Amino acid sequence: MHDNFYQMYLDEMGEITPCTGEEQLKLISDLREGNQEAKKRLIEGNLRTALEYAKEYDGKGVLLSDLVQEANMALLMAVEEYAKAGGENGFDSYVAEKIKKALEMAVEEEASADQTGEELAARVNVLQQIAQTLAAELGREATVEELADKMKMSVDEIRGIMKMAMDAVSLNAENADLEALAEMSEMEITDSEDYDYEV
């Protein structure tokens, strides 16, 4: 599907002529004089370049459409910042640096989100297994304190896992083990004051 998006996006830019180096210098000069049409042309003329950089990061966990959006936003900001910075040389390098930095951040943020989801699923699985084991041993649902003692964690940490599990379920989290979270949502755990925590 991403190949279709890539081709479709290329087709949309088919009538936009890329900027030449000489044209870019003139556009930058005009932009610094307040010509907003120059800014528009400078951005449009470099959209294909932004797309090519986005394509380089395809397959690293972020949708190509999202990569293109990040690259285009970075291009916009690079044009504005370069116009204010002064100087006439190095525009291509400046744009490339800004776009690649934005794309790298997008990939890193996605990887961090994936890792967080996996860690949450793992903690929920462990908590679920221990809760079931304690329930079988005690003949009743375990209290939060008993779970905390068994897992060598604080009561607040146990409640934190339970809250994160509920948040993940309510948000239909894509990066967590939803089956485990769904099972967790049906598990009832009580604290020492006989208050029911339904997670």
For position 102, what pLDDT does the model report? 92
CA dihedral 46, 51, 52, 57 (to 10 degrees): 140
Asked if 29 and 70 sit in the same domain, the reply is yes
Mean local confidence (pLDDT), 28-52? 91
Q: Is the pTM of this model over 0.85?
A: no
How far apart CA 118 and CA 112 sit, in angstroms, is 10
Asked if 124 and 59 sit in the same domain, the reply is no
For position 167, what pLDDT does the model report? 66
Judge whether 94 lies within some domain. no
Per the CB < 8 A criterion, the answer to whether 79 and 24 are in contact is: no
Domain count, the chain: 2
Describe the chain by its helix, strand, coil percentages, rounded to 5.
70, 5, 25
Asked if 58 and 127 sit in the same domain, the reply is no
Is a pLDDT exceeding 90 seen at residue 150?
A: no
Asked if 151 and 73 sit in the same domain, the reply is no
In sequence order, what DSSP letters do the residues of 147-195 get, joined into one string? Answer: HHHHHT--HHHHHHHHHHHHHHHHTT-SSS-HHHHHHHHT-EEE-TT--
Asked if 82 and 141 sit in the same domain, the reply is no
Judge whether 107 lies within some domain. no
Judge whether 179 lies within some domain. yes
Asked if 132 and 57 sit in the same domain, the reply is no
Judge whether 79 lies within some domain. yes
For position 88, what pLDDT does the model report? 58
For position 114, what pLDDT does the model report? 61
* pLDDT tens profile 4-33: 766 777 777 777 888 888 898 899 889 888
Percent of the chain with pLDDT over 70: 74
Domain residues for the domain of 163 are 112-198
